[in-house]
Chain A
Amino acid sequence: MRAKHRHALPGFGLTLGVCLAYLGLIVLLPLAALAWKSASLGAGEFWAIVTAPRALAAYRVTFGCAALAGLVNLVFGPLLAWVLVRYRFPGRTLVDALVDLPFALPTAVAGITLTALYASNGPLGRALEAHGWKIAYTPSGITVALVFVSLPFLVRSVQPVLEHLEPDVEEAAATLGAGRLTTLWRVVLPTLWPAILSGFALAFARALGEYGSVIFIAGNMPMVSEIAPLLITAKLDQYDYAGATAIALVLLAGSFATLLALNLLQLVTVRRRSAGSA
């Protein structure tokens, strides 16, 4: 493809210059520093850092809790979207607005609040510990924080799809004698899967890197409840820049792999949809 040399609308040079300068300074230059730092590590050294027991434990906690939180929201996200789109009840607009609270509330605020609620002396923590379930300062606490943080992703991916769902498919299912549950399960849910999965991937990617809401409730015990982002800051505090960089690369690889998988999924879905309509 050859670029056109002339554009009818003005501003190509100006906006291109602004974007390149801005992205160069804010994104590319720092990322180059990341690459430079990791290149200064030998392969053996790099491998030793990223496979150290403490690091492996941190990945396990990070990826495990992120996946678990994603699974919880896999159920409650679409449920909330369904209730918001299809049911009419007092306070619906309020609930709809509140869904974005985790986006809008600073993560540190979420972190200390969840900790205060779920700690042994907090109202929820006390009740749950009476039943032998300790939340704060354990991986369960991390999961709770990640559920909070990643909830909007699933609701907001599914909601627009539900809003634009053509009613005639459900009506057709009903006229064919399907019960309501059967219709939801066999007709509505399959059309939502791409949106649910893409919401899940976004939620998962966000949860992998989450820091502020987690560190207060996590307890941060190495090998038990230490997440990978915290391990990075721990290494930075000891001026171990190389170690921090190595862990950061693993974490980045995890996020990129998730988003890449999401893009591939969307590509496949789009193909299948367009092939179906042709």
Chain B
Amino acid sequence: MSIELSAIEYRYRDATALAGIDLAIESGELLALLGPSGCGKTTLLRTIAGLEFPDRGRVRFEGRDVTALSARKRHVGFVFQHYALFNHLTVFENVAFGLRVRGWFRRPRRAELERAVSELLELVQLGEFARRYPAQLSGGQRQRVALARALAVEPQILLLDEPFGALDARVRADLRRWLRGLHDRIHVTSVFVTHDQEEAFELADRIAVMNKGRIEQIADPETLYTHPANPFVCRFLGEVNELPAALHARWTGIDDERVVAFVRPHDLEFSAGEGGARVEQVRDLGANMRVEVRHPALAQPLVAVWERSRFARSGLAPGRSVAVSAQRQVLFRGDAPVDAAERAGNALRDILVTHG
């Protein structure tokens, strides 16, 4: 089932939580809402579920306007951040809840209900835990119960709020892969909220990056990473070095110095030689080495993260003078990216231009 949001606005007290959201989610897609805390991503998810009602704008499922419909009637599966399991019910009864509260005629027979719940418990690999209570489960198991409970009502849409936020790192990684596999099997339209870009990249077909109640960019992970729409998106997707640069227009000979080059740590190159920069610190991260270089024109040190072998080949050590260059960079002029055509017509002159 597809979801279309148009011009959604939501104010809470005097703060704007959502400032005009337009978003179309295709049927069967797995979409991530990614952003810092307080960006409105959870409010947006709850608006889709009918747990919040927007001040303006419309929510449509498969073209049908559901804006005024209560959560009860929207028929979406919702997995809460802290699971919201019913502590007084067993795992089995938690999963059966949505079937038991159905109207008289739609309520399944007992045998049917037991079969449906058992199947779901097998699907989330919790078959032998049916008689346990939520308090007797680990965090990852609770998460899977919450998922099974949401799926029991056979929703066309599955919404997950920070699904892995409360889990420790190893369980989180396992569960992530398992969830991706599950989605590939059942193909229900899914939206999940996260503040962790790694999680969004690993799991999602497309990612909507949110900031201050707006969607900054929506794209597949590859596009997002290689062509971020603005500096915010670029910064949010991971550590990045910001270097002043200049675009040299070949046929006028004028330098445009309002350009900033964003370079990821693994794209940064330091070569031994006089470049005005000096290696300040080298840290061993295990698989990688982190090199910090101080350039007199920059307030922040430049950071490169290289594989061990590459670092070993470079022969760098603290105190060495180096020249700085980049293998790959994204250019922004103010908030706007410098597009490929302009880039092709001009030369990126010195990536490190001393201002003043």
Contact = CB atoms under 8 A, between A and B. Distances in A.
Which secondary structure characterizes the binding site on chain B?
loop
A5 B54 CA distance: 10
B51 A8 contact: yes
Interface string A253-278: 00000000000000000000000000
Contacts, number: 12
Interface in B13-71: 13, 46, 50-53, 70-71
A1 B13 contact: yes
B13 A5 contact: no
A8 B52 contact: yes
B71 A8 contact: yes
Most B C-beta atoms less than 10 A away, residue of A1, A4, A8, A10: A8
A262 B50 CA distance: 42
Contacts of B71: 8
Contacts of A6: 53
A6 B70 CA distance: 9
Contacts of A8: 46, 50-53, 70-71
A6 B51 CA distance: 10
Q: Categorize the interface residue count of chain A.
A: under 10
Which secondary structure characterizes the binding site on chain A?
loop
Contacts of B13: 1
Contact of A4 (B46, B50, B53, B70): B53
A6 B52 CA distance: 8
Nearest to B13: A1
A223 to B, nearest CB: 56
Nearest to A6: B53
Contacts of B53: 4-6, 8
Contacts of A4: 53
Interface string A1-44: 10011101010000000000000000000000000000000000
Nearest to B53: A6
Nearest to B49: A8
Interface in B120-140: none
Contacts of B46: 8
A264 to B, nearest CB: 25
Contacts of A5: 53
Contacts of A1: 13
Interface string A94-125: 00000000000000000000000000000000
Most A C-beta atoms less than 10 A away, residue of B13, B46, B53: B53
A5 B68 CA distance: 11
Interface of B: 13, 46, 50-53, 70-71
12 contacts: A1-B13, A4-B53, A5-B53, A6-B53, A8-B46, A8-B50, A8-B51, A8-B52, A8-B53, A8-B70, A8-B71, A10-B70
Given A1-B13, A6-B53, 10 more contacts: A4-B53, A5-B53, A8-B46, A8-B50, A8-B51, A8-B52, A8-B53, A8-B70, A8-B71, A10-B70
Q: 3 nearest interchain CB pairs? A: A6-B53, A8-B51, A8-B71
